[in-house]
Every structure is written in C-alpha cells, then in structure tokens.
Amino acid sequence: MHTIRLQAAARGFTWVTLAMAMGLVNPGWAADAGTAAVDSTHAAPVRKSAASAPAAKSMSEQLREAVAGGAAANKRVTLVVNGKEKKYITIPAGKPVVPAEAAQNSADTGHQAAAEAVRSAVVPAAAPKRAGKVVSPQASRQSIRAKAAAMVGHEASTVTGDAHLGGHNDDVHWSYEGVTGPQAWGQLKPAFNLCAIGMRQSPINIDESLTLQGPAEPLQFNYQPSSASVVNNGHTIQVDVAGDNAVTVRGSTYKLVQFHFHAPSEEKVNDQGFAMVAHLVHKNAEGQLAVVSVLLQPGAANALIHKVWTYMPLDINDRVHMPAGLIEMNELLPTDQRYYQFMGSLTTPPCTEGVLWLVVKQPSTVSPAQIRLFTQLFPHNARPVQALHGRAVRDAQ
C-alpha cells in the first residue's frame, strides 16, 4: 500500500486544486477566477497566496511522484491530506486521443476542464471505478478545453438542526441505502416519525392526467448576483446564498436560503425521472417554506452549475467561499417558468410537512460531464416517490 501524506494550507480542498497540484491543468486561468494557483511549472507566473505557496509546491511534487512512478497503476493509494485519510485508485498514464473538433470553444472551459481531468485521474475508492487516463500538463487553455472535451465521450426547515439548514449534523446517521436508507428513516429516531407515517410527503410522481388545470399567478423571481459558500454536507452539495434573492407566489415573498442537488431527480412527471434536480429552498417572514424544483436533463452545460462545481469541496463538512457576486440564480432557470404546485414535505429526515412545492415544468440542461462529476461523490441521493394520499396537484398554465 503506497501512502502519500500532504499538508494543504487551508480547508476547502477541491477537485480544481487537486488537479492543479497534479500538474493536470494550467493554473494561469485559475488565478483569474480567484483560485490560488498551486503549481506554476508549466505556465507564466500567477498570483499566489504567501501562506499557501509552500504547501502547494510540496503537494504538487508528491502527487506527481506518486502518479508517475511511486504507485503502481490501478493499485490503491492512501492519500492523507491534513491528517484526513482518503483512499484513491490511480489510473494508468496515457495520452488521450483528442479529436480535431474537440479544440473548439466551449461553455465548459477552465475549471470544468480541471474538474474533469482530475475526475478521470483520481477516483475515490468508494465510488464506482471508471476507466480514465492521466493527462499530461499543457500551458495552453485550448489544450485544456480539448482534453476536457475528449474525456466527455435539502430543503430548509424551521426545526432546529434540520438536515438541510443545519448541514446534516444530526446525531443519528441516515443514508440513501441499506439499513439506514429511506425505508428505515421513520424508525431511526422519534423525530423522524413523519418519514414513515406522514400523509403529505415528498417527493411525488406528478400524473398530468390527474392535475387541476387552470390559470395561476406566475412565479416572480427577484434574483441578483450574490455571494455564496459551497459545503459538502455528506448527503449532497449545498450552496448557502447571501443577499436578498427571493420568489413571490400566492401573495407571499420567500427569501432564498440555499440550494442543493439530487441525482437522479426525486420528483417524477408521468413516471419519468430526470438525470438530476436542483432544489432552491426559500423561507418567508413567518418561517414557512417554499421549494422551487428545477429538473435537469442531459444537454448543454449549465453556467451556474459550472461555477458551483469549480468550488465543490471533496471532504464532508468542508466549506469553500466563492468570490463575491459570482452566483447568478437566473442562470439555472429555464425560459418557460410554468410550474406544478402542491403541498409536501422535506425529502430528507425529519421529513417535516407543510412545505410549498413549485416544480418548474420545463427542465434546464446539465452536461454529461457535470452529471458525472456530481455522481462521482454522490452516486444516488434521491428519496423514492411517496403516495399522494388524495392531495391536489395544480398544473399552473
């Protein structure tokens, strides 16, 4: 067993910093986006943090040595960062075949390329093992884009300590599989009782033939560029948003608290699921919750998800602060914002009811590369659909 011990200068160790440390990407563009460069061997000098430069250099040298020759291909490597032990699988070195058309300009540039490169180079042992290749460092952004292209081939609650607002710090472990999976949530703790006996639980399957149809007030989004932080809470990637972002519906204004992701989608429409879903959690002055659900299907890369994945932490409970004003929620929303409306619950323990659900009918798109990067950390984090028990679902025309 080969062990590599690293000392990172700060918390918030992301896919991008790991990619740069391994020399997989040119760090020049990373500095432009506010990410500290960890290696400048293959690029012109970029700005660095005085505190982080020495640790970053050591990280780069050790990782390169391990991947290049210290650890046998396809053998398990123990990677210890700041005393936290993680097991990874190294992928055999090799040069990917880059088709000519892969060098074209793409919406997936910079950090997306870095994330994809390291995903193919170092795979967490707990996740499904995928074939991939280590990409040799290059100094040009065009080369980074080409290699990336070649490789493409919870709701909040007013209850204290709720999973979605409190960062999943509950003292009882729950999961999406096995003896602590959704079928057992209601028995894990008395406070989770509604997960088993609730009559207005989420998610649901929306059968359009059974919905109440008719005119309804449109969703009024008031979103603006905002600051945010990204946390890996062990069950999903959650983005806590600052500022006065809000949605107004049914005469009430709900302020955006956070948004997070599930794969596959938890909601279904006519028994059809989607690749992913984003849940935008809002709360009004009375503490009532409204969740805007944006379904995500494979297609073009999503600009907002591109930003979030760039700052995605690797380790549970690590938090990464994004540059001020980087989050623009309108980048996630589809142009057609008609929606389904029903009363439901949190989709994670304690499954609190009384949540207003607003499921946008038109899906937004997310690239296959973006889907793979999320599911590498969370292969399946979706609760099964729950019974309607006579609830009305309005199809807002």
The rounded distance, in Å, linking the Cα atoms of 281 and 259 is 6
Residue 197 Cα distances to 123, 148, 192, 343, 386, angstroms: 39, 47, 10, 16, 11
**Which residues are known catalytic residues?**
235
Is the Cβ–Cβ distance between 276 and 366 less than 8 Å?
A: yes
Is the Cβ–Cβ distance between 66 and 178 less than 8 Å?
A: no
The rounded distance, in Å, linking the Cα atoms of 393 and 360 is 13
Exposure of 83 by Cβ count < 10 A (0-12 exposed, 13-18 middle, 19+ buried)? exposed
Within 13 Å of residue 80, how many CA atoms lie on the same side as its CB? 6
Classified as helix, coil or strand, 343 is: strand
Q: Count of residues for the chain?
A: 397
Category of 178 on φ-ψ map: left (φ > 0), alpha (ψ -120 to 50) or beta: left
Cα dihedral 220/239/190/173 (nearest 10): 160
DSSP 276-330: EEEEEEEE-TTS-EEEEEEEEEESSPPHHHHHHHHT-BSSTT-EEEPPTT-B-GG
The rounded distance, in Å, linking the Cα atoms of 383 and 202 is 8
- 61: tokens are 């040298």
- C-alpha triplet 254, 333, 182: angle, nearest 5°: 70
Pairing of the two strands 276-283 and 289-298: antiparallel
